[in-house]
């Protein structure tokens, strides 16, 4: 299974909001705090561009405004294009001024997350990690623990998103197992997350700029394929999108 992903930062955001639909504009106006508005806009911008690239749609702002993310029954995002359910599955995450969106065929279970590598308290470890994960953490020196904690946390968040439940589930119900890094592919390292109810997700993780990126899916995905934005204009001019492999060609192999 092929999964595509796109990363955007606050610097990629246009100043105008003409790429948002009328209903999205209403949601934006209802957000009281500037930090929440900025994060919401960045997430929507990243998701719309990722979906447009995956479906080979125009990146002009009128076309992006026709792509909408709507919360499904569980609260997880569903994608609509021109009011019809789009043939994609997505997962979205944003943190610290950057966002990622992963895109896969409809019906697949998919989750992604990114997390800043930073110190965490012993209370955080005790509250949110399963006993086998806590054992793994204690085997590392204090200096090495923040990176592992970020990896385990992104793995949990990704799996809970793939389950379309998010943090409504106990984080200890999904147990992360980083796989041997000797099998790294293009900078991505394998990971497996097991849900205590029996579901297992496979996926990949990497570290860049003190951030951990994790993608998990079922069926098991190949290493994520980057959707690379070459250029864009915030005035509605078409943008060009480069990919490591054409999504259309990739879908022919599925």
Instruction: Say if residue 118 is in the same domain as residue 208.
Output: yes
Residues 118 and 144 in one domain: yes
Whether 242 is covered by a domain: the verdict is: no
144/162 same-domain check: yes
Residues 80 and 100 in one domain: yes
**CATH number for the domain including 80?**
3.90.470.20
Same domain, yes or no, for 122 and 80?
no
| Total domains, the chain | 2
The whole-number mean pLDDT for each consecutive block of 10 residues of the chain, a chain of 254 residues, reads 96 95 95 94 97 94 94 88 95 95 95 96 95 94 94 96 84 89 83 93 95 97 87 42 41 28
Angular region, 166: left φ>0, alpha ψ -120 to 50, beta rest? left
Per-residue pLDDT tens for 68-120? 999 888 888 999 999 899 999 999 999 999 999 999 999 899 999 999 999 99
212 and 120 fall within a common domain: yes
- Listed in sequence order, the residues at least 6 apart from 112 whose beta carbon sits closer than 8 Å to its beta carbon are 5, 91, 92, 93, 100, 101, 102, 158, 161, 213, 214, 215, 216
pLDDT at 179: 77
In a domain, 236, yes or no: no
Closest to 103 in 3D by CA, of 200, 2, 8, 220: 2
Expressed as residue numbers, the domain containing 58 is 4-108+223-230
54 is a domain residue = yes
Label the pairing between strands 67-71 and 4-9: unpaired
Q: Is residue 19 part of a domain?
A: yes
34 in the same domain as 77 = yes
**Terminal alpha carbon distance of the chain:** 6
Q: Give 143-159 pLDDT, tens digit per residue.
A: 999 999 999 999 999 99
């Amino acid at each position: 299974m092929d999964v595509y992903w796109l990363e955007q930062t606050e610097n990629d955001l246009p100043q105008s909001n003409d790429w948002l639909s009328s209903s999205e504009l209403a949601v934006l106006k209802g957000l009281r705090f500037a930090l929440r508005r900025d994060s919401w806009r960045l997430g929507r911008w990243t998701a719309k561009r990722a979906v447009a690239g995956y479906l080979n749609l125009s990146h002009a702002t009128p076309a992006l405004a026709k792509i909408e993310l709507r919360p499904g029954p569980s609260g997880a995002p569903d994608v609509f294009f021109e009011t019809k359910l789009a043939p994609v599955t997505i997962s979205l995450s944003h943190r610290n001024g950057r966002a990622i969106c992963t895109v896969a065929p409809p019906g697949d279970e998919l989750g992604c997350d990114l997390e800043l590598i930073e110190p965490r308290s012993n209370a955080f470890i005790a509250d949110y990690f399963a006993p086998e994960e806590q054992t793994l953490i204690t085997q590392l020196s204090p200096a090495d623990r923040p990176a592992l904690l970020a990896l385990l946390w992104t793995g949990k968040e990704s799996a809970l998103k793939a389950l379309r439940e998010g943090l409504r589930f106990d984080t200890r119900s999904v147990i992360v197992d980083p796989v041997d890094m000797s099998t790294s592919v293009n900078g991505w390292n394998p990971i497996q997350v097991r849900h205590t109810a029996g579901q297992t997700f496979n996926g990949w993780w990497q570290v860049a700029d003190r951030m951990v990126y994790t993608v998990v899916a079922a069926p098991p995905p190949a290493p994520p394929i980057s959707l690379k934005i070459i250029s864009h204009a915030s005035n509605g001019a078409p943008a060009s999108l480069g990919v490591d492999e054409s999504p259309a060609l990739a879908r022919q192999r599925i």
